[in-house]
């Protein structure tokens, strides 16, 4: 399965449902530097792709679905964006 999470800088607060508090400053600086607002990341932290706006996330998920289908994996993928 897949999950959509919101990445926030760890400032000593408790994480809310669907949030990931970044303690090692890897994702957020990378995302800011490259103008990224949404990424598809595997559990082993391999970045499949990224987009500049949340409205583009659906297209990225569609691209993933096409790539998976090309390799024989057929699944229903739905884009989920946390605002």
pLDDT tens sequence across 30-82: 999 999 998 988 888 889 999 998 889 889 988 988 998 999 887 665 544 44
pLDDT at 78: 54
pLDDT tens sequence across 68-83: 899 988 766 554 444 3
pLDDT at 82: 41
Furthest-apart CA pair in the chain: how many Å?
Answer: 44
Per-residue pLDDT, averaged over 7-36, amounts to 83
Q: pLDDT band at 1, cuts 50/70/90?
A: low
Cβ-Cβ contacts under 8 Å for 25 (sequence gap 6 or more)? 9
């Amino acid at each position: 399965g897949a999950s959509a999470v919101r990445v926030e800088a760890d400032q000593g607060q408790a994480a809310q449902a669907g949030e990931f508090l970044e303690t090692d400053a890897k994702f957020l600086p990378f995302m800011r530097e490259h103008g990224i607002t949404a990424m598809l990341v595997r559990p082993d932290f391999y970045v499949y792709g990224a987009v500049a706006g949340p409205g583009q996330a659906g297209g990225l998920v569609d691209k993933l679905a096409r790539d998976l289908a090309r390799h024989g994996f057929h699944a229903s993928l739905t884009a989920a964006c946390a605002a």
